């Protein structure tokens, strides 16, 4: 059984396939009817108007209808397009078991527990006949597929066949008979239009199901006596032919298979059984663990069955329908009806080659599964599932093709898969030992090879190579060298398709396709919701494949699309140009011409063959929203422009591609304010001043227009804008324009007109207009404002623009590959850019503005539309009489569109690419990669302390220049070791603000502070060294060693100083004070500092009466040869005092005889042999509890983390 679809639901009591669409209806015990798409595996709809279980359901053959019958005694007719019940047929008095539409007439037959069968006319919505005779529940009733018969099964242990010929005659008779119909059928139980033809008795218990054979005069029935009976009938009688025994519980349903000579039954014993209808023997049994089966239905058109059970339903096939075939040059070798045949593509000639034997064992799925062909030896290997997997080797005779009707005696063998790997060698998979047996054409083993992975199938992968499949991966195995050439993780692979040149392979799974190269290096993966059936490569390297419903394509980059919809599944074999050759399920070759324009177009775009793209745009009918969105998605909006008819989409694409000319054309056709505004924004971004001006004019956006004229220096137009503002009575606009122009008199006039006399007076007086100032002063009287004394006035006027002519920037470059070449070739030269002349703004000529009434400026603006065909005299050049075949290069039409020049690589990027030093990455501003490097090399996690150093390094490696006011600041990289003699193209590493000599200075300062006893200052210096070292770069290996030595020195001092500062904080714990003083003496310090530490520890212990420990420190101090005589004298005195009483008053955690290191966090000794963890950066040691925490010495790295080590010199990398 090949399960195609499965659902989980309440108990399924009724099923019906749609004749055309991949749909199935399932009626449930809960009262719901579900409509499923079994190809997609989705629930399309649900209908739940029945009250109680729905036991019968059936699709109409041609109308969008289905009928259902339930335990509520109702028959409902539904329209699935309208998603509702159209009407209900009432008449049955008990549960309705089955319902069925007639294949031709508008009839429904229903069977019920009221012991009757009713035939209804669903058009007139009436019952036209009642079939009575059964004396128990009628479990099913169905029409004969061709004749005027009905078969019914009942719990009265009989099967009845009814003749409804009279009913048909009445239905198709002339009008007078129709008028008599009511009288003929007046008696409810005595209608003469349906009579019992046969009563079939033979079952010992109630009969649950009976059905007709689709073509032969046979009936099959199943009953509670656990038997399936076959009955034959003729014109006069019917009789039992045979009984099929095997079910162990009530047989629920039974039917003849429409395409094969088999009977399928299911039962409450939780099994589906398949029987040979001729031999009347069991072929196969499929069992479920927990679910009883209730019904069974066959698809009216294709080889599908469905069965309903306690927890859902399954849609399944009994046998695989894919024909076994193999390509060989210009032909395909395939198996059809027990013959090996050859189909030649060029001549489309089909030839029968030889007959093959029938499988010895009876059963399903015994036919050929795969076929492998060796053209030079004319040998064919056929694999099947016989005996759990076996192969047959046939050799086609060189003459007499197809003449023999006797099957050739093939060489046979057992094996999971068998394929040719050379001219006269084939490989057989032996699954039990997981090895390959290489055999010759005499079926003799030549060689054995153990496979590298557990393999369940092998495929051809080139001469001497095999592609081995396991559950979740495939490998290519070289049989000669016995090595793996490539491997790839994939879903379970069903079929393998190689390209003609064996450079690419497609691995087909149930719902996905993986495309890889010949070494199994992954290229792309496609996922499909519908099952993938087959595939083939075309000559362009495009993979064409089929699903159950479509022929599709897959480009090398993984883009896919639909070529054609299929009515039935096809298995592709070969592709020649636009012709696709395939085999259908009947083994028939089907050549099909398809339109490959779409995928060839996309392939040309992908491969940047723009000449082909342009040719296809001009000559083919490529269009549609999908193509437009594809081009946008792939970054070709300028190409998508030529597919768009809708002006708004055209405008959006033109803006996206920066084609301001096309956007302008579209904006003129749309002529809406919002589109003009967006055009203005884009034109401003591109620096096309003319279009900006035109767009602002169209939107009547006077404020923007005024500012635009100011920055472009068009002061004459700005003065016209001031007059327009006056006409509009826009006081602020008028004042702004006067301010932009520096027109003081106009400003005074405006202020005076609106009544701001003090402001008008101040403006006039400051600018020296004495007569106006005096006139205004006389009007103001006593309210004349006082002018500030001692202040020098300056004229308030904007600076003149640097550039005031034409568009900016002045850099003009040629158009893109598609610009111009794809423009409408029919345009005249002077049509281009008709509105884009340099003097668009001249339309604002408002000579008559003074005569207009305030507020109405439409007259002014209506005159601003430029003349479309304002032709001048031109150059008067004469036409050249050139020969017609001479191609004159055409100049690009219209002004060039500005395309930003490609930027060079920033210096900071070069620094990052060339260096693996954290300091160089920080200097380049790539803090992220610098942190990753430090984390990997030194285990650093706490970057908060390094942030200011990162910023200093970055800023210190750059200098910044101001060009002029309106330009952004220019950043210049500062390089270390730069000289004038070097080539300007050579980039040196960045100059760094931190260097090794600075660290040496800090070290000296730290020593000095330690000697002076300024421990906090000293600690700050040594911590600064530890924090700066990661961002220091040195040149030589010797310097690298010095840097590493410096880290150790700084670590020792930081640890010692922290312990000493901690000791000074402890006032009430003399024992801990002595321990810390003792540990300080074991830090690796400079000798003078060691002496000071020893003197300190000796003093602390002596005062605490720990004389033995104090004597140890005194001894060590004397061994250090103190240069200070006082130190030596004190040590000798302590030693003398201690020798009289060598005891310790307090026990300390300190054993000077046992070597130890001090934990950097807890300040306890870690003696030799005890487990500890180190900081990967400063090498301080810690007790195991501190593993994974921040180092308490350097505050940067994580204790115990993995790190590769300090990298601070290019010499280390080289």
Integer Cα distance of 983 and 980 in angstroms: 8
DSSP E strand boundaries for 876-1000? 958-961, 970-973
Q: What is the pLDDT of residues 1133-1175, one digit of tens each?
A: 888 888 888 888 888 889 888 889 999 999 999 998 888 999 9
Select from 462, 413, 456, 420 the least CA-distant residue to 438: 420
Q: 352: which strand partners?
A: 341
Report whether 1188 contacts 1198 (CB < 8 A).
yes
pLDDT cut 90: percent of the chain above it: 34
Measured CA distances, 422 to 438, 440, 462, 813 (Å):
10, 10, 9, 59
Q: What is the mean pLDDT of residues 242-258?
A: 92
Q: What is the pLDDT of residues 819-836, one digit of tens each?
A: 555 554 434 334 333 333
Give the pair of three-digit tokens for residue 1105.
Answer: 């009466």
Other Cβ atoms less than 10 A from the Cβ of 165: the count is 15
* Reported confidence tier of residue 251, pLDDT bands at 50, 70, 90: very high
Integer Cα distance of 725 and 742 in angstroms: 16
What is the pLDDT at residue 882? 40
- CA geometry: angle 20, 21, 22, nearest 5 deg: 125
Token look-up 């009262």 returns 31
Report whether 92 contacts 75 (CB < 8 A).
yes
More confident site: 114 or 346? 114
What is the pLDDT at residue 620? 62
Report whether 108 contacts 102 (CB < 8 A).
yes
Token look-up 């009436």 returns 126
Whether residue 474 is predicted with pLDDT greater than 80 in this model: the reply is yes
Report whether 950 contacts 962 (CB < 8 A).
no
Integer Cα distance of 1189 and 1181 in angstroms: 12
What is the pLDDT at residue 47? 94
336, containing H or E segment = strand 331-336
Integer Cα distance of 1116 and 241 in angstroms: 118
Token look-up 């005031």 returns 804
Whether residue 852 is predicted with pLDDT greater than 50 in this model: the reply is no
By mean pLDDT, which of 57-71, 683-697, 844-858 is the weakest? Answer: 844-858
What is the pLDDT at residue 847? 38
What is the pLDDT at residue 95? 95
What is the pLDDT at residue 1032? 92
Q: What is the mean pLDDT of residues 685-694?
A: 82
630, containing H or E segment = helix 625-633
Find the helix packing angle between 1037-1065 and 1015-1028, rounded to 10°.
150
Residue 28, helix vs strand vs coil:
strand
Give the pair of three-digit tokens for residue 998.
Answer: 């600075």
* Reported confidence tier of residue 908, pLDDT bands at 50, 70, 90: confident
Integer Cα distance of 1157 and 1172 in angstroms: 10
- Read off φ and ψ for residue 281, nearest 5 degrees: -125, 155
Select from 321, 8, 274, 298 the least CA-distant residue to 306: 298
What is the pLDDT at residue 615? 75
Give the pair of three-digit tokens for residue 949.
Answer: 């150093």
Integer Cα distance of 1071 and 1100 in angstroms: 10
Q: What is the mean pLDDT of residues 114-131?
A: 94
* Reported confidence tier of residue 626, pLDDT bands at 50, 70, 90: low
By mean pLDDT, which of 226-240, 604-618, 904-918 is the weakest? Answer: 604-618
Residues 6+ away with beta carbon under 8 Å from 551:
544, 545, 562, 563, 564, 566, 570, 572, 580, 594
What is the pLDDT at residue 850? 40
More confident site: 799 or 49? 49
Burial 968-988 (b: 16+ CB within 10 A, else e): eeeeebbbeeeeeeeeeeebb
* Reported confidence tier of residue 506, pLDDT bands at 50, 70, 90: very high
Integer Cα distance of 1027 and 1050 in angstroms: 10
Measured CA distances, 96 to 70, 112, 201, 762 (Å):
5, 4, 23, 104
Q: What is the pLDDT of residues 978-1028, one digit of tens each?
A: 777 676 667 788 888 898 888 999 999 999 999 998 999 999 999 999 999
What is the pLDDT at residue 156? 94
- Count of alpha carbons within 13 angstroms of residue 651, beta-carbon side: 20
3-state helix, strand, coil in the chain (%, to 5): 30, 30, 40
pTM of the model: 0.56
Other Cβ atoms less than 10 A from the Cβ of 299: the count is 20
Q: 436: which strand partners?
A: 429, 449
Report whether 805 contacts 841 (CB < 8 A).
no
Burial 529-558 (b: 16+ CB within 10 A, else e): eebbbbbbbbebebbbbbbbbbbbbbbbee
The count of residues in the chain is 1214
Measured CA distances, 592 to 570, 572, 712 (Å):
11, 10, 64
What is the pLDDT at residue 373? 87
Integer Cα distance of 757 and 748 in angstroms: 9
Whether residue 811 is predicted with pLDDT greater than 80 in this model: the reply is no
Select from 149, 132, 165 the least CA-distant residue to 211: 149
* Reported confidence tier of residue 899, pLDDT bands at 50, 70, 90: low
More confident site: 879 or 562? 562
- CA geometry: angle 797, 802, 806, nearest 5 deg: 115
Q: What is the pLDDT of residues 148-190, one digit of tens each?
A: 999 999 999 999 999 998 888 887 765 544 454 454 454 444 4
What is the pLDDT at residue 282? 87
Q: What is the mean pLDDT of the chain?
A: 83
What is the pLDDT at residue 2? 82
pLDDT cut 70: percent of the chain above it: 86
What is the pLDDT at residue 895? 46
Report whether 1025 contacts 1050 (CB < 8 A).
yes
Select from 57, 144, 68 the least CA-distant residue to 102: 144
Burial 908-921 (b: 16+ CB within 10 A, else e): bebbbeebebbbbb
Measured CA distances, 88 to 24, 25, 85, 120, 378 (Å):
22, 18, 8, 11, 66
Report whether 97 contacts 112 (CB < 8 A).
yes
Alpha helix ranges (H) inside 671-714: 673-686, 689-699, 702-712
β-strands 312-317, 305-309 pairing = antiparallel
Integer Cα distance of 1032 and 1042 in angstroms: 12
Report whether 332 contacts 581 (CB < 8 A).
yes
* Reported confidence tier of residue 863, pLDDT bands at 50, 70, 90: very low
Whether residue 114 is predicted with pLDDT greater than 90 in this model: the reply is yes
Measured CA distances, 940 to 822, 936, 1138 (Å):
58, 8, 48
Whether residue 660 is predicted with pLDDT greater than 50 in this model: the reply is yes
What is the pLDDT at residue 190? 47
Whether residue 428 is predicted with pLDDT greater than 50 in this model: the reply is yes
Report whether 882 contacts 888 (CB < 8 A).
yes
Give the pair of three-digit tokens for residue 453.
Answer: 């992975």
Residues 6+ away with beta carbon under 8 Å from 515:
504, 505, 506, 507, 523, 524, 525, 526, 543, 554, 556, 558
What is the pLDDT at residue 952? 92
Residues 6+ away with beta carbon under 8 Å from 639:
605, 613, 617, 631, 818, 822
Whether residue 31 is predicted with pLDDT greater than 90 in this model: the reply is yes
Chain Cα centroid distance, residue 430: 39
1000, containing H or E segment = helix 996-1011
Q: Is 1179 left (phi over 0), alpha (psi -120 to 50) or beta?
A: left
More confident site: 546 or 330? 546
């Amino acid at each position: 059984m090949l399960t195609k679809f499965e659902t989980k639901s309440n108990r399924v009591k009724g099923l019906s396939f749609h004749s055309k669409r991949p749909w199935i209806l399932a009626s449930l015990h809960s009262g719901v009817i579900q409509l499923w798409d079994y190809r997609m595996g989705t629930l399309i709809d649900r209908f739940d108007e029945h009250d109680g279980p729905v036991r019968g359901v059936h699709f109409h053959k041609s109308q969008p209808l289905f009928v259902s019958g339930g335990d509520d005694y109702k028959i409902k007719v539904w329209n699935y397009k309208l998603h509702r019940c159209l009407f209900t047929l009432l008449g049955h008095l008990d549960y309705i078991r089955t319902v069925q539409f007639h294949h031709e007439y508008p009839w429904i037959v229903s069977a019920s527990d009221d012991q009757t069968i009713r035939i209804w006319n669903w058009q007139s919505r009436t019952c036209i006949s009642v079939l009575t005779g059964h004396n128990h529940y009628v479990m099913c009733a169905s029409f004969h597929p061709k004749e005027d018969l009905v078969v019914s099964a009942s719990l009265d242990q009989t099967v009845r066949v009814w003749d409804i010929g009279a009913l048909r005659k009445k239905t198709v008779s002339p009008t007078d008979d129709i008028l008599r119909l009511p009288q003929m059928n007046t008696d409810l139980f005595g209608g003469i239009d349906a009579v019992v033809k046969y009563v079939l008795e033979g079952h010992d218990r109630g009969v649950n199901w009976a059905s007709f054979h689709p073509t032969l005069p046979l009936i099959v029935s199943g009953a509670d006596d656990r038997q399936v009976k076959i009955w034959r009938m003729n014109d006069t009688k019917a009789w039992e032919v045979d009984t099929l025994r095997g079910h162990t519980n009530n047989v629920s349903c039974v039917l003849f298979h429409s395409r094969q000579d088999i009977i399928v039954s299911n039962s409450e014993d939780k099994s589906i059984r398949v029987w040979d209808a001729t031999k009347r023997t069991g072929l196969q049994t499929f069992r479920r663990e927990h679910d009883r089966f209730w019904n069974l239905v066959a698809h009216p058109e294709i080889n599908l069955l469905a069965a309903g059970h306690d927890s859902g339903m399954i849609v399944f096939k009994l046998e695989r329908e894919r024909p076994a075939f193999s390509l060989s040059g210009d032909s395909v070798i395939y198996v059809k009806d027990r013959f090996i045949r050859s189909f030649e593509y060029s001549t489309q000639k089909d030839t029968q080659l030889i007959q093959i034997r029938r499988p010895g064992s009876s059963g399903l799925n015994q036919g050929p599964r795969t076929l492998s062909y060796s053209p030079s030896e004319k040998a064919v290997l056929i694999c099947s599932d016989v005996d759990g997997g076996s192969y047959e080797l046939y050799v086609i005779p060189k003459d007499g093709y197809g003449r023999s009707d006797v099957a050739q005696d093939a060489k046979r063998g057992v094996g999971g898969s068998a394929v040719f790997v050379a001219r006269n060698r084939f490989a057989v998979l032996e699954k039990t030992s997981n090895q390959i047996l290489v055999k010759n054409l005499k079926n003799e083993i030549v060689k054995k090879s153990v496979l590298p992975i557990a393999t369940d199938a092998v495929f051809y992968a080139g001469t001497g190579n095999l592609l081995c499949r396991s559950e979740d991966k495939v490998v290519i195995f070289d049989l000669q060298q016995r090595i793996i050439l490539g491997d790839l993780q994939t879903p379970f692979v069903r079929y393998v398709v190689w390209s003609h040149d064996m450079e690419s392979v497609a691995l087909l799974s149930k719902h996905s396709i993986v495309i890889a190269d010949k070494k199994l290096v992954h290229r792309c993966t496609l996922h499909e919701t519908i099952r993938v059936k087959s595939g083939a490569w075309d000559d362009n390297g495009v993979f064409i494949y089929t699903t159950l419903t479509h022929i599709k394509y897959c480009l090398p980059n993984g883009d896919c699309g639909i070529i054609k919809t299929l009515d039935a599944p096809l298995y592709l074999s070969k592709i020649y140009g636009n012709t696709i050759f395939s085999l259908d399920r009947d083994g028939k070759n089907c050549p099909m011409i398809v339109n490959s324009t779409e995928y060839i177009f996309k392939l040309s775009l992908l491969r940047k063959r723009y000449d082909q793209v342009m040719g296809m745009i001009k000559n083919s009918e490529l269009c549609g929203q999908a193509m437009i969105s594809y081009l946008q998605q792939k970054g070709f909006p300028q190409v998508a422009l030529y597919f768009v008819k809708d002006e708004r989409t055209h405008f959006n694409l033109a803006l996206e591609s920066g084609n301001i000319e096309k956007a302008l054309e579209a904006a003129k056709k749309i002529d809406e304010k919002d589109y003009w505004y967006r055009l203005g924004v884009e034109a401003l971004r591109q620096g096309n001043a003319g279009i900006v001006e035109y767009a602002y004019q169209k939107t009547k956006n006077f404020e923007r227009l005024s500012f635009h004229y100011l920055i472009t220096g068009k002061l004459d137009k700005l003065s016209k804008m001031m007059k327009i503002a006056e006409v509009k009575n826009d006081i602020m606009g008028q004042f702004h324009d006067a301010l932009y122009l520096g027109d003081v008199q106009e400003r005074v006039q405006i202020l005076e007109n609106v009544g701001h006399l003090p402001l008008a007076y101040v403006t006039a007086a400051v600018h020296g207009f004495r007569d106006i100032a005096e006139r205004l002063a006389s009007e103001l009287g006593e309210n004349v404002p006082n002018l500030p004394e001692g202040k020098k006035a300056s004229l308030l006027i904007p600076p003149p623009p640097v550039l005031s002519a034409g568009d900016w920037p002045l850099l003009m470059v040629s158009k893109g590959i598609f610009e111009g070449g794809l423009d409408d070739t029919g345009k005249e030269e002077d049509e281009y850019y008709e509105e884009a002349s340099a003097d668009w703004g001249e339309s604002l000529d408002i000579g008559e503005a003074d005569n207009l009434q305030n507020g109405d400026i439409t007259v002014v603006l209506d005159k601003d539309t430029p003349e479309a065909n304002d032709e001048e005299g031109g150059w008067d050049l004469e036409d050249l009489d050139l020969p017609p075949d001479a191609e004159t290069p055409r100049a690009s039409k219209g002004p060039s569109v500005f395309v930003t020049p490609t930027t060079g690589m920033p210096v900071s990027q070069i620094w990052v690419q060339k260096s693996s030093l954290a300091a160089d990455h920080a200097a380049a501003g790539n803090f992220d990669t610098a942190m990753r490097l430090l984390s990997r090399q030194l285990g650093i996690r706490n970057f908060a302390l390094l942030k200011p150093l990162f910023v200093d390094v970055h800023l210190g490696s750059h200098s910044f220049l101001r060009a002029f006011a309106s330009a952004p600041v220019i950043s210049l990289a500062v390089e270390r070791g730069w000289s004038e003699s070097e080539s300007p193209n050579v980039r040196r590493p960045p100059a760094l603000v931190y260097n090794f000599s600075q660290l040496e200075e800090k070290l000296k300062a730290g020593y000095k502070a330690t000697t002076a006893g300024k421990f906090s200052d000293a600690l700050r210096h040594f911590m600064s060294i530890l924090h700066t070292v990661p961002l220091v770069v040195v040149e030589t290996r010797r310097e690298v060693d010095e840097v590493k030595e410096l880290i150790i020195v700084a670590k020792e001092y930081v640890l010692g100083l922290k312990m000493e500062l901690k000791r000074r904080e402890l006032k009430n714990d003399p024992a801990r004070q002595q321990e810390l003083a003792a540990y300080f003496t074991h830090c690796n310090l400079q000798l003078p500092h060691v002496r000071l530490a020893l003197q300190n520890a000796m003093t602390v212990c002596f005062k605490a009466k720990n004389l033995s420990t104090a004597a140890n420190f005194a001894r060590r101090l004397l061994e250090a040869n103190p240069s200070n005589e006082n130190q030596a004298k004190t040590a000798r005195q302590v030693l003398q005092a201690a020798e009289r009483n060598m005891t310790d008053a307090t026990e300390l955690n300190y054993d000077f005889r046992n070597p130890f290191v001090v934990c950097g966090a807890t300040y306890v000794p870690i003696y030799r042999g005890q487990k500890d963890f180190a900081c990967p950066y400063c090498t301080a040691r810690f007790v195991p509890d501190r593993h994974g925490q921040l180092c308490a010495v350097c505050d940067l790295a994580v204790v115990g983390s993995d790190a590769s080590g300090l990298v601070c010199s290019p010499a280390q990398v080289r």
